[in-house]
Structure 1
């Protein structure tokens, strides 16, 4: 599962989706088999997305962009303890620590 940390919350669902979908620095080799992405703000899971595809960002070439679809999930609205400074990382859902 991918975790994207945002430092501010857009004022719409589409704004959040647009914010988390592109311009992330992560090795694409690590993205193999990553099917879900969660958007997190100050430890709260704002949204859960299905990763439809990913590739080189069209604007920032050394970054990655995702094609996402919003999905329902029990994780939405939960608080996690997540202390890494990296805004885009991969974690096993079993390793998430809930507050």
Structure 2
């Protein structure tokens, strides 16, 4: 095992949900605006420093009003994911985080 301790979240039946650390995609849906992209990058730099920026996928809606930004990070645990989701939702441009 590496320096990171392997952590497993489990359900009532003790079936693993997610084993950490793992690659974890986070999708942010919001208003198509350069400020949305900057906000997502800032949050990821804070909570997942060194994430691979080449793996960012951006898709615009058909009319260009909305945008989805998918980032793949190396998740280290549920607290990290909770912090990322909370910080992403601070921006009024963010409508949903998956």
Structure of higher CA gyration radius: 2
Provide TM-score, normalisation by structure 2.
0.32
Provide TM-score, normalisation by structure 1.
0.32
Higher helix share: 2
